Structure 1
Amino acid sequence: MTEPEWMMVVGKSQKEAEEFFECENIEQVREGNKNDDAIVADQEPALTMEIVDRGTVRTVGVDAKGVFEVELYHTEAPKTVWYFKKITGLINRPIGNLKVYFTAPGMLVLFHGNADEAGTLVPENLPKDGVKKGILGVTNMSRSNRGIMGIRLNDSKEYGPTGESFDGANLVLSLSSITPSKLSFLSKLKEGDVIYVKEKV
């Protein structure tokens, strides 16, 4: 008996997922954004054996503009990277998500975190001379808002990505390319919106 191929299509386009599952004789049911170029942000079931048993899989698509490629600071901030991956779901899948908590137009976007998980998040990789736009940070355990994540939409020499002073936020990643269109997309986010992240390889 041969092992079935790993059937994780999160991160692929809806069309790529369709072609993959056609080869495996599995029915794909598109949900969310059903366009061919939409990015699959979730699939159900996630486990290969369940997909094989059912013979069908749901793929949830999102607009590619809402998927951001990020460069994680593994060496500089290992504890914060682990926290970020756990909270977003990147720890066990190719694409994670961040839910908007608060926005300050033109300055920063804050995302929900988990205060309990961040209870041991010691200060690491703190900003020194300033924070550039496109940098995401996590409020560390030295602050009451520990665990909150935020991304700067402008450069700042005073405050970190979560609006805290420099000693209160650990820098965890940067967007691979912060184009005007990406900045515009981030600037239009509102509370409750979701963006998706995938690690640059």
Structure 2
Amino acid sequence: MDEKEEIEKKQKNWGPGGGMYRGVNVPVKILNYVIITLMVILVGVVVFLALNSHFTINLDTNGGENIKPIECKYGDSIVIDEPLKAGYSFEGWYLDQDLKHEWDPLTQKVEQSMTLYASWKPIKINVVFDYDGGNVILEHKEVIYDDIYGELPRPTKEGYQFLGWIYNNEFITENTTVSINGEHVLKALWQSQ
């Protein structure tokens, strides 16, 4: 087929009466209205599905008490009760495991299913010292939960040797990790000389 025949073939297929509406005996304007109407219906269906779709918000409490997933719709605001975790105070919900992007329930709306991650801060705990007759050096000290006790007083008592601090019959040293999540009393343990 030479170049002239190829051009004539293309004109025949895509010229007047060819192309998208070739062989259709309906006016082009009516077809355009039908296409526009179908597009509007399609957009309406997508919006309807988005507004009536249910999304699931999973809550990863990072060691806190479990909270059931929340079912909600597109555009909903969600309020989540603060979870509890022994020794920690709740700092908020985050969109990522690295806890860099906080979820703000006052300004952010649900747009999809997602997982929110709890952020925690260890609490400060008051430790009281019972010297059991020894000289009082320090009445109490603040420590951080899940951290070590750090420096502890070394009292003296006439006729006795100081063996250390005990809580619940267990020795507590400067390197012991704080695992008691409330105020507690460390008692001095003595041995007569």
**TM-score, shorter chain, exceeding 0.5:** no
Q: Higher relative CO (CA 8 A, sep ≥ 6), structure 1 or 2?
A: 1
Q: TM-score range by the shorter chain?
A: under 0.3
TM-score in terms of structure 1 length: 0.24
Bigger CA radius of gyration: 2
